[in-house]
Structure formats: C-alpha cells, structure tokens
Amino acid sequence: METCLSIPESQGSDPKLPMEISEIDTPAVLIDAEKLDRNLRKMANYCTKHSIALRPHTKTHKMPEIAHMQMRYGAAGIAVAKLGEAEVMADAGINDMVVVYPLWGESKWNRLADLARRARISVAMDSLPVAEGISRAAAKAGVEVGIRVEFDTGFGRCGLPLDHSSIRVAQQVLALPNLRWEGISVYPGHIMGNRAVREHDLVLENAQLDRLYALLSAAGVSHLSVSGGNTPAALLSHRFHGINEIRPGTYVFNDRNTVDAEAATYDECAATVLVTVVSTSVAHRAIVDAGSKTLTADTLLSGERKNHGYVLDHPEIELYDLSEEHGHLRIPEGSRLQIGDRLRVVPNHICPCINLQERVYVVSDDQVIDQWKVSGRGRVN
Amino acid sequence: METCLSIPESQGSDPKLPMEISEIDTPAVLIDAEKLDRNLRKMANYCTKHSIALRPHTKTHKMPEIAHMQMRYGAAGIAVAKLGEAEVMADAGINDMVVVYPLWGESKWNRLADLARRARISVAMDSLPVAEGISRAAAKAGVEVGIRVEFDTGFGRCGLPLDHSSIRVAQQVLALPNLRWEGISVYPGHIMGNRAVREHDLVLENAQLDRLYALLSAAGVSHLSVSGGNTPAALLSHRFHGINEIRPGTYVFNDRNTVDAEAATYDECAATVLVTVVSTSVAHRAIVDAGSKTLTADTLLSGERKNHGYVLDHPEIELYDLSEEHGHLRIPEGSRLQIGDRLRVVPNHICPCINLQERVYVVSDDQVIDQWKVSGRGRVN
C-alpha cells in the first residue's frame, strides 16, 4: 500500500501516533487504510481498462489527502459540489476541478474567476443566466472557465430537458466569451436500485443518451466530453452509450446504501464509526454514544428504510433509532452488551457523516497510523 | 432588546458589518435578533413565575453568545450533551453546567475532573460503573463533581427503571467519594405530540413521577433537584409533579417540529435558512442551494412526515426532497420561481441544522447586525 499523505495541521492537540484504536475517544470515524486503497485502485483500474476518465467526486471525503491519492492513481481531476470545497482543494494543490453545481451570484462568480487563476476549473450548469454570469466574471478577470451543459436523463433534479430549446441554450452558452466548451454532463442518480433494477434502468438511460446525442449532432454541437457516473452505476459505465468520464464519490468508502444496492460488500466499507455503549438501563436496549449528529438522520435510500446503520459483527443488533447524540440499539433476547463495549457501525450514507467530523482516524489492523482533518467540511457556499 | 455579544474571532474574513441580508452568500442561517430575544424572555418569565429553575440545553445553539444571553435572563446554568460542548462553554466563561450524558472512559473522566477545577460541573448518569469512574477521577484530581441519577419515566432511552434495584443503585452512587449529590433527572422526550396528546401524556407522566418519589422516599433518598423538561412540554412544567428545574433547548429558535407540535408559531421561529434558487430546468420543480448538508435529513417527528422544511411566505411550495447540496421544491401550476430568487426555510429540526454551520448571521429587519461562530459544532466527544 502506498504511504498515506500526512498534513501536519491535522494533528491538532491529539496524542502522538501511532496509537491503538482502543485509545481513541469515541465516537470517531475510522478509515481502514487497506480498504480505502483497495477501493481507490479498483475504480482506477476499471476506468483505465475501459478508457473512461475518472473524476472522483470529493464531496464524499472532503479531504485533500484522499484527493491526492486519487490523483496519484490516475484521476483526470476531481469534481466538487460547492465552490468552498474547490477552494479547499486548490489550497491543497489540486489543480483540475469541475464544480458540478449551478453557481449563482456575483460573489460566487468572482470567487470562481479567482480560482481559475490557480487551477484548471470548470462548471456544470443548466441555464443561460448562470453561464452569462460566469462569462462576465471570467472576462473581467481575464481568465477562462470551462463550461459543461447539464442535461436531465431522468433523475429530475438539475439538467435541461432533452428538447430543441435546450440545444439552443447550449448553442448560446457556446457563443459566450471566456468560456471553454468542455461538453455535456449528466447525472444518473436515479440508477441506484439493486443489480437487476440497474440493468433495466441502463436500457432506458441509453435511449435517453442516444436521443440527446442525436439532438446535439443535428444542431452541430460537439460533445467531446460526456460526464456521468455515480457509485452504484459506476462499474456499468462502459455500457452507458458515449460516456467517457465518470464522477463517482461514495466508492472510496462505500456505505450501507452501497451494500444495499449490491454495489459493494461490508468488507469493502472502508469507513466505520467507532462507538461505545454508554447505557443499558432499559431492557432489551442499549445506547451508544453516536446519534444523528455523528451518523446523520439519513435513511436507507431504497428497499426497507429501517435502521440507521449496520453494526459490524452483530447482525442481530438493530440500530433502530437515533437521538442527536444517542444511538438506540435493540438487543435480542439472549444477547447482552455491557457499558463500555465498543462497536463499529457502517453508516447508511457516508458522505454527510464524514461532513460532520472534524477529523478521521486512519487505521491499519488495531493501530491508528494517521489522522486527517476533514478540511472541506461545512463548506456549503 | 439587549445588545448582542460579539466575539471578534467569529468575524473571520467576512465583509464588514452591518450589511444587508441581500449581500449574504447563500445558503446561510439567519437568526432574527428580536425573535430570539422574545423566545428567551418568554421561557425565562415562565420559569420565574412558576419558581422553576431554567437550565437551557445549549445543544440547540452551541453558541456561547446565546448561552450568555440565557444566563443574563436568569438561567441557573446550562445543560450540554457532550463534554466537548462543556469545554467550549467553560472557555467562554460559563461556570455552571450539567453534562446530561453518561460519560464513559478514563479520558472523559479526567477531562471532566479538569473542568470541575474551573466550573461548577455535574453529570446525569444511570449506572454505577459510570459514577464510580467519575468518582475515581474526581478523587485523583481533588475536585468534586455534581451527580444526578437519571430515571426513565417512559422515553426508553437512558434512565434507570422505576424499581427497588434502581433505588439501590442511587444509594450506592450517594456513597461514592468526591461526588456532590444533586438529585434526580428525567427526560420527558416522549411528551411531544400536539396539545391534546401532551395533556393526556402528562397524566401518565405524573403517575410515573409519583411512583418514583414514593420509591425514593421509602429508601430515604433525598431528591432536592428534580430536573426535566423538553421544549414541547416546557410550558406545562408547573403541572409536572415535583419538577423544579427544566432543560429545554429548541425554544431559543423553534422549528417546524415545534410548530407541528403546536408549541410555537412560524412567527416564533427565530432561525431560518436563506437559500437561492439555482435551477428551474425541470418542469414544476425548482432547486435551491441547501440540501441535507445544510438542513439535515431529519424528518418531521410526528404527524405527517413529509417535506424537509417550511418555505416561509410560500405555503404552496413543498420542499419535498433533499440531495446533499440540493433542496428539491415542488412548484404548483401557476406559481413560478426564477433562478436567483431567494427564499427562507424553517428546518424540520433546528438543532442538527445549526450543528452543520460554521457561523450564523444575526439579523434585524433587512440588516445583518452580527455574526456568531457556532463554537460548539462538531464536538461529539
């Protein structure tokens, strides 16, 4: 395994490393170094094999250390959700980024233009006013910003509809000064069911993509880069028509949602939350010291929406409810937990969980070998 | 209105104040100074009138500025959920705190003993091992820590059951050195339905409390302080048998849950999230720039669990779904939002929402008059 990058600032006032996992105060997020490395390599190898550019979405981890590992494994650059995340990554030396978010307002357009002075930066957007604002700010600053027009192939969130008026918007965007045309962007966020469901959805998705390409070609709009990809559908990307870049995020850690979608196993979940049993007063229940302020209240995305995480090595225990700082466990008859017992929980959704942490602990077997600051946490602007 | 406390550190690199709300980059949490003040005074006046000690739970705001306002309005001290929050508040000069959480482990016990050197500090707990650990650490440090034994009157989270063996635990705790006996603690978290439901639950709760007092009296265990209270039931506290201290948290801001429980109106919601429409590409929908990483995925606690917040002045618009950084609005026929429009959202649950913010903006009419750092955010240990 490659040596992990360590950034001195992240050490804070914490005890000297290495230390034992048993010495960590809970609750705490542990990152299994070997599993992380395996997940990073698996996706990088897949993309290399199929000649698809990998542009990992760093909203999942928000840690420059991991972004640098992804770049070393051959990523074409990174994707971010918000400008503040891009600024954190640029500060850490990442120099190729797409903000996959429609940025609005003078303040954001000016910050974007500033960023374009120190990194190759692009934006995915879906309206002329946003593109015009970016173009104006870029012209004023004398920089060029990459632009990708987002189309909606079925998720129904952002993205222009697949019709002629949308193609005219793309043509108008193409004509704006100080924008570098990079192609089109889609987000197959609706392809997230289990394997059989994904196979079915893929057929529909390809019909949508074919329609989009026909509209673009008829209007003479080039689409050099076609960016897609989420974690559940990532390893199907070579079967998406025309996709030549993907932006998966969750694959670095995986989570209960990914396992539920049959896109990973619990053994491939690199991030777990270490918790301690703090109360066993109520019969058949136990309370651990991680609630929604550590794990988030995110429910499972598909299938049965019960429970707030998976308790590793204890499939019989249900994490059935969360208060802000309490995790409520249901203990079956015959099972028993003691105050002070430690458990490891795979959260339902790892991305917002990481966003709640100041730092994570990088572990190998029973040792803490590093700790990383979640430098991008809380950057909502 | 009292002048707000301003802590220089919280200014960061943000523009000079005062500024207009329209100049704030979104998403951002706005605190209405007048509404906050009104909420603080209403609860303080209620407690004074009924001779009930008010110990606000600062997990809701995690801001020393507001804790100081609460103390100036006569609070007996504050309550916190985690030791890290207590440390932040002690650093800011708050000198009377109860950690309403069973603390486990040498590290936490030693930190607690350290805190006891600079503040009057107590812990609510529900097991002998926790009390023994605290007692040992306090003895080693030569300090005294207040202790409250928690009983479960129906919420089923922490708290000893109402039986003789629990009373024996309380007696054993009473006998431990370096602990200052403060009485008992309950948490009526189950009393959260609408007015009629709360009236019904109060009768059951009083029967439980009477049983608890009978058990304690029979064993000769004094219960000078009986601490209870959550926001939905706070203004019924004088009708809870024997309760002489309450620990409401949410009342400072209120939220959609509080309104849903008929314990506040939207006009009493002091905290809102300012958002901007960033995409209107999909028919009958609009996307705003706040998702679960700003608002949290918390669903409504009772009644219909739909929607992720209330859009002020637009009851016809539903915030029907959240991605991490996108709020999905359903726009009825005939209604129309433009990219760049700004809206204000009352979150379902304000406590974890505030915990996601680096800072909040204190506003009066259209002006930003201060900004406060959420100093206790992310303190899960």
Q: Residue A200 phi/psi, 5° resolution? A: -65, -45
Nearest beta carbon to residue A281 from set B161, B289, B380: B161
Interface contact B352-A324, CB threshold 8 A: yes
Please answer whether residues B84 and B107 qualify as being in contact, where contact means their C-beta atoms are separated by less than 8 angstroms.
no
> Where does the pLDDT of residue A14 fall: very low under 50, low under 70, confident under 90, or very high at 90 and above?
low
- Using the beta-carbon criterion (under 8 Å), do B25 and A189 form an inter-chain contact? no
Residue after which a domain boundary falls, among A250, A277, A296: A250
Q: Which long-range contacts (CB under 8 A, 24 or more apart) does B197-205 make?
A: B198/B232, B198/B233, B198/B236, B198/B261, B202/B233, B202/B236, B202/B239, B202/B240, B204/B154, B205/B153, B205/B154, B205/B240
Q: How does strand B327-330 pair with strand B342-347?
A: unpaired
What Rg, from alpha-carbon coordinates, does chain A have? 22
Mean pLDDT computed over A47-56:
97
Do B339 and A152 lie within an 8 Å CB cutoff?
Answer: no
Is the pLDDT assigned to residue A259 strictly greater than 50?
Answer: yes
Q: Which of A293, A296, A306, A328 should one mutate to test binding to chain B, selecting the residue with the greatest count of B CBs within 10 A? A: A293
Encode pLDDT of B71-92 as tens digits.
999 999 999 999 999 999 999 9
- The mean per-residue pLDDT over the stretch B54-68 comes to 98
Choose the weakest-confidence range: A33-42, B150-159, B303-312, B364-373: B303-312
H-assigned helices in chain B:
33-49, 64-72, 83-91, 106-116, 128-141, 164-174, 195-218, 256-260, 292-295, 350-354
Distance from CA of A168 to the nearest CA of B (A): 14
Residues A225, A306, single domain; the answer is no
For residue B101, the chain A residues in CB contact (below 8 A) are 278, 289, 325
Q: Do A159 and B282 touch (CB under 8 A)?
A: yes
Determine the pLDDT at residue B9: 39
Nearest to B101 by CA among B164, B58, B53: B58
Cβ contacts of B289 on chain A, cutoff 8 Å: 101, 104, 380
Q: Indicate the Cα dihedral angle A68, A247, A239, A180, nearest 10°.
A: -100
Residue A228: pLDDT over 80: yes
Exposed / middle / buried, residue B154 (Cβ in 10 Å: 0-12, 13-18, 19+): middle
Residues A67 and A192 occupy one common structural domain: yes
Same domain flag for B231 and B290 = no
By Cβ distance, the residue of B59, B108, B281 closest to A161 is: B281
Of all residues in chain A, the one with the smallest CA distance to B355 is: A293
From the CA of B49, how many Å to the nearest CA of chain A? Answer: 31
Q: Considering the domain boundaries, does residue B321 fall inside one?
A: yes
Inter-chain contacts counted by CB atoms under 8 A, chains A and B? 184
Number of independent structural domains in chain A: 2
CA-to-CA distance for B286 and B75, rounded, in angstroms? 43
Given this model, what pLDDT does residue B6 score? 38
pTM assigned to the model: 0.94
Name the nearest CA neighbour of A92 among A53, A122, A73, A118: A118
Among residues of chain A, what percentage have pLDDT more than 90? Answer: 85
Whose tokens are 């901007």? That residue is B276
Write down the mean pLDDT value for chain B. 93
Question: How confident is the model at residue A355, as a pLDDT?
Answer: 98
- B52 Cβ contact list (under 8 Å, min separation 6): B46, B237, B238, B243, B244, B245, B246
The string of pLDDT tens digits covering residues A335-348 is 889 999 999 999 99
Q: Select the residue from A24, A112, A158, A361 to test the B interface by mutation, using most B Cβ atoms within 10 A.
A: A158
What pLDDT, in 10s, does the model give residues A309-358?
Answer: 999 999 999 999 999 999 999 999 888 899 999 999 999 999 999 999 99
Q: Tell whether A234 and A89 lie within a shared domain.
A: yes
Same domain for B104 and B243, yes or no, is yes
Chain A environment of B283 (Cβ under 8 Å)? 161
Q: Dihedral sign, CA of B153, B157, B163, B169?
A: negative
Domain membership of residue B6 (yes or no) is: no
* B266 and B213, same domain (yes or no): no
Same domain, A181 and A270: no
Residues B263 and B242 grouped into a single domain: no
A220 with A297, same domain?
A: no
Q: Is residue B379 part of a domain?
A: no
Region A55-70: mean pLDDT is 98
Structure confidence at residue A237 (pLDDT): 93
Please tell me the distance from the alpha carbon of residue A282 to that of residue A337, in angstroms, as a whole number. 12
CATH of the domain at A147: 3.20.20.10
Q: SS3 of A7, please?
A: coil
Mean pLDDT of A8-18: 55
Residue A379 belongs to some domain of the structure: no
Provide the pLDDT confidence category of residue B2 given band limits of 50, 70 and 90.
Answer: very low
Q: Which residue of A has its CA nearest to B294?
A: A380
Average pLDDT on B350-369 reads 97
**Residues B260, A293, B381, B8, Cα dihedral to 10°:** -80
Per-residue pLDDT at A8: 37
- Establish if A362 belongs to a structural domain: yes
Cis, bond preceding A18 (omega within 30 deg of 0)? yes
In a shared domain, residues B196 and B303: no
Task: Measure the CA angle with vertex B40, ends B38 and B46; round to 5°.
Answer: 100
Q: What is the pLDDT of residues B210-233, one digit of tens each?
A: 999 999 999 999 877 788 878 888
Q: Using CA atoms, how far apart are residues B66 and B69, in angstroms rounded to an integer?
A: 5
**Do A293 and B355 count as a contact with CB atoms less than 8 A apart?**
yes
Whether B281 sits inside 8 A of A103 (CB atoms) is: no
Q: Among B52, B53, B115, B54, which Cα is nearest to B82's?
A: B115
Whole-number pLDDT of residue A15:
60
Using alpha carbons only, give the angle B68, B72, B77 rounded to the nearest 5 degrees. 65
Q: Do A380 and B294 touch (CB under 8 A)?
A: yes
Report CB contact under 8 Å: B158, A326.
yes
Do B159 and A281 lie within an 8 Å CB cutoff? yes
The rounded distance, in Å, linking the Cα atoms of A20 and A24 is: 7
* B77 and B121 belong to one structural domain: yes
Q: Are A263 and A231 in contact (CB under 8 A)?
A: yes
| Whether residue A110 has pLDDT greater than 80 | yes
Residue A1 covered by a domain: no
Predicted pLDDT at A82: 96
Say whether pLDDT at A147 is over 90: yes
Q: What are the backbone dihedrals phi and psi of residue B321, each rounded to the nearest 5 degrees, phi first?
A: -155, 160
| β-bridge mates for residue B29, sequence order | B273
- Dist CA A66 CA B322 (whole Å): 26
Question: Who contacts A206 (Cβ-Cβ below 8 Å, separation ≥6)?
Answer: A239, A240, A241
The predicted pLDDT at position A92 comes to 98
**Residue B316, domain CATH:** 2.40.37.20
> What is the rounded average pLDDT of the residues A182-188?
92
Question: Per-residue pLDDT tens for B7-59?
Answer: 333 334 556 788 999 999 999 999 999 999 999 999 999 999 999 999 999 99
Residue of A104, A289, A294 lying closest to B276 (CB–CB): A104
Looking at the domain assignment, is residue A12 inside a domain? no
Q: Is the pLDDT of residue A13 over 90?
A: no
In this complex, the residue of B59, B278, B326 whose CB is nearest that of residue A104 is B278
Q: Do residues A277 and A239 lie in contact, with contact meaning Cβ atoms separated by under 8 Å?
A: no
Domain boundary among B252, B272, B294: B252
What is residue B78's predicted lDDT score, i.e. its pLDDT? 98
Q: What is the spatial distance between Cα B291 and Cα B325, in angstroms, rounded to a whole number?
A: 4
Token output for B227: 């601490």
Question: From CA B283, how far away is CA B6, in angstroms rounded?
Answer: 45
Same domain, A218 and A321: no
Boundary (domain end) residue, out of B252, B273, B290:
B252
Judged against a pLDDT cut of 60, whether residue A4 lies above it is answered with no
A102-129 mean pLDDT: 97
Question: Mean pLDDT, to the nearest integer, of B136-161?
Answer: 96
Q: Give the closest-approach CA distance of A208 to chain B in angstroms.
A: 15
Mean pLDDT of A362-370: 97
- Which residues in chain A have their CB less than 8 angstroms from residue B373's CB? none
Mean pLDDT for A240-248 is 94
**C-alpha Rg value of chain B to the nearest Å:** 22
CA B104/CA B182 separation, integer angstroms: 20
Residue contact A340–B378, C-beta within 8 A: no
Confidence check: pLDDT of A268 > 70 = yes
Of residues B3 and B163, more confidence is placed in B163
B324/A290 touch (CB, cutoff 8 Å), yes or no? no
Q: Which of A255, A249, A330, A324 is nearest to A294 (CA)?
A: A324
* Domain that residue B70 falls in: 33-252
